[in-house]
Amino acid sequence: MSELFPHYRATWETDQHRELRRHAAEFFRKEATPNQERWAANHQVDRDFWNKMGNAGLLGLDLPEEFGGTGGDFGYSAIVGEELALAHDAASGWAVHSPIVAHYINTYGNAEQKQRWMPKIISGEAVLAIAMTEPGTGSDLQAVRTTATRDGDEYVINGSKTFISNGTHCDLLVIVAKTDPSAGAAGVSLIVAETGDDPAGFERGRVLEKVGQHGQDTRELFFSDMRVPAANLLGEREGQGFYQLMEQLARERLIIASVCSGMAEAALLEAIKYTKEREAFGRPLIKFQHNRFQLAELKAEVLSIKTTVDYCVQQYIDGSIDPATASMAKLIAADKGVAVVDRCVQFFGGYGYMMEYPIARAYAAARVNKIYGGTSEIMKEIISRSL
């Protein structure tokens, strides 16, 4: 239940969704919120945090029950994304692992692959990452240079990747690579590497110093003649990777949008709380009309973000989402969410610039939402094609 909008209920939200919301809120406030500063200092979450999330049933929410999942709809993941943000988490790689990468394996993996990997993914025994971005390649996934050359029953992988979330802990890594460098988009394939034991030819590079989300283990990865079984190819044949990526982008963008919605609401709740407690000239900040009007406007903005995202989540659940609509959710939630967080910082004055305050960590963490999962400019390009 939303603290800011106690009577708000999305059209897709059932009693089971609301029970999950209460469970996730309680779990993350206990297991994630108190650890943010320590995780930021360590540049990674505790490894057993993944096992705790698995034990709490938060890693298989819309994955098949036969592997230990809950078998719920996409709304379950949207709720957890919001609740992580409302718990002021800027470290967990849950969004990459559970609603994004797990579904590449669930959707495109064969029976043997799913039987081998899915139980570990859902329990937290195996942490997931996806290696898309390269030093010279961002949104243009057709231009990746990492290669996977078939050699008997194995692929030999060479190349490098950057900005890889869960780069420290990942045990299973979905690699975007060219199996046919001459074929453009039709030469891209997805191959799963088992990296838990750091196989020969695989190197985890430096942890990257980011503006925000300091507790997330974002790294560079390098492949030098790394051998991966050919049986780890996702899909029936080579060359399907680009199309697999395009099919799953709506999920990724809607999860980011859900997190943005939670971040905006969390920032406004912190601002309201602070303006009620902090005094200037003998009265609480919220008693000044300018501040009240600003907060009122921000509350309306947060509601507009929530309703936009929830409308699109409903479309996804119904199976009617299209690329332009998913891009609208991501564009609105990211752009407006960043603006809301920025304006909330102002109420705190100098304290809003101190990293010990959740609002400062949110400010630093929010900006990347307009970049990853497809930049706001790419979202506009996709939307413009529907005009």
Phi-psi region of 306 (alpha: psi -120 to 50; beta: other; left: phi over 0): alpha
Determine which one of 31, 238, 252, 270 is catalytic: 252
- Helix 15-31 with 74-86: angle, nearest 10 deg: 40
Q: Chain-centre distance of CA 15, in angstroms? A: 25
Q: Which helix (H) or strand (E) segment is 178 a member of?
A: strand 172-178
User: One-letter amino acid identity for 285?
Assistant: L
Rounded Cα distance between 258 and 84, Å, is 10
Rounded Cα distance between 214 and 228, Å, is 31
Per the document, the length of the chain is 387
Residue 329 DSSP SS3 = helix
For 348, counting Cβ atoms within 10 Å of its Cβ (0-12 exposed, 13-18 middle, 19+ buried), the class is buried
* Residue among 284, 288, 332 nearest 306 (CA): 332
**350-355: long-range contacts, CB 8 A cutoff, minimum separation 24:** 355/40
Cβ atoms 278, 351 nearer than 8 A: no
State both tokens at 55: 């034990």
Rounded Cα distance between 69 and 204, Å, is 30
State both tokens at 17: 């969704």
User: Would strands 128-131 and 172-178 be described as parallel, antiparallel, or unpaired?
Assistant: parallel
Residue 134: active-site member? no
Rounded Cα distance between 253 and 258, Å, is 9
Cα distances from 215 to residues 4, 24, 37, 220, in angstroms, run 27, 20, 8, 16
Rounded Cα distance between 165 and 106, Å, is 20
Q: Name the CA dihedral angle for 61, 62, 64, 70, rounded to a multiple of 10 degrees.
A: 30
Which positions are catalytic? 252
